[in-house]
Amino acid sequence: MLFAVAAGILLAVPFATGSARAAWVEIAQFLSLHGKPVPASPAVLSQHEIERLDHQSAQKQAELLLERAINHYEGANDQIATRVDGWRGRLKLSSQLHSLITTALNSDDLRVRAAGIEVDLAAMGVAKIPESVERLSQQAVTGPQSERVWVLWQLGLLGNRGVEPERVNQILVSQLQDSDPEVRHWAVEGLAYLGTNETIAPLLQVFHDDPSPMVRERAACSLAQSGMLSQEQRRGVVPQLLNYADDAALDAQTHTWVYQALRDITGQNLPNDSAAWKSWYSSGGGGN
């Protein structure tokens, strides 16, 4: 009898071990950081969450909806669009909300970036009306530096949301001639988030000509990744970047930024070699 029990235990061990191993393999595969995204649940803003929003403060609404927008929840952007004008003057730019806005503005989805812009304007109490552009345009010229840099940022955001974009572009471009590199830096950031076709040539010129490495680097990032230019708009600057790659007037650091911008825009991992990039482009790379 004892022998039979012992034999049963011994026979069960391989099966138990096999089951445990299979279970562990399944868990390990599930927890792996490699591979395509695995949905945890449908990314849809639930009716329950929508109903709860009306009983929450503006701050809680903005934080929840922007977090959901960042995670691509269906319905989150619609709710932000519906509610954001009512949040103006009722939001505090807390560390949590600031972090969410920053994350949204760095999303790979321009609609999420747009949601971040909307919430940022509301948190700063900036109304999306032409009178705001007029008021800010005066501050951009006459205000102290600490005020001017924020004004240039706000102007770019307003223009992106359709408030006097041509006027905003003119104001921002005029500030690219300022003697203060910090003012020029924020004029570049404003142009990046304005994101119209008219911003591209000034950004290219700043990248090539500005005496400040910091300002040139921000222009390169604005052309390559940051801001509100679309993928199509960014790919349109590739020919000019290829010209910059051979430009002896540019220093070594700027040439490095040229190649980094090319990699960011095209997704190609080519070396810092103009011949390699031009060969890729001439063989049809620019049309991909």
Structure tokens at 268: 């190609």
CA–CA distance from 186 to each of 67, 146, 182, 219 (Å)? 26, 11, 6, 10
258-273 pLDDT, tens digit per residue, is 999 999 999 999 999 9
**pLDDT score of 38 more than 80:** no
pLDDT at 194: 99
Residue count (the chain):
288
Q: Are 232 and 218 in contact (CB under 8 A)?
A: no
Q: Considering the chain, what is the average pLDDT of its residues?
A: 92
φ/ψ bin of 125: left (φ > 0), alpha (ψ from -120 to 50), beta (otherwise) = left
pLDDT in tens, 153-172: 999 999 999 999 999 999 99
Give the pTM: 0.88
Whether residue 3 has pLDDT greater than 50: no
pLDDT of residue 152: 99
The whole-angstrom separation of Cα 91 and Cα 275 is 52
Classified as helix, coil or strand, 44 is: strand
What is the DSSP code (8-state) at residue 285? G
Q: Determine the Cα angle at 31 with ends 28 and 35, to 5°.
A: 100
Residue 8, CA atoms < 13 Å, CB-side half-sphere:
5
Q: Which of 83-87, 213-217, 282-286 has the lowest mean pLDDT?
A: 282-286
pLDDT of residue 34: 80
The pLDDT of residue 9 is above 50: no
Question: What is the per-residue pLDDT across 58-112, written as a single tens digit (0 to 9) for each?
Answer: 999 999 999 999 999 999 999 999 999 999 999 999 999 999 999 999 999 999 9
State the DSSP string of 171-220: HHHHGGG-S-HHHHHHHHHHHHHH--GGGHHHHHHHHHH-S-HHHHHHHH
- Asked if pLDDT for residue 15 goes beyond 50, the answer is no
pLDDT digits (tens, 9 = 90+) for 116-145: 999 999 999 999 999 999 999 999 999 999
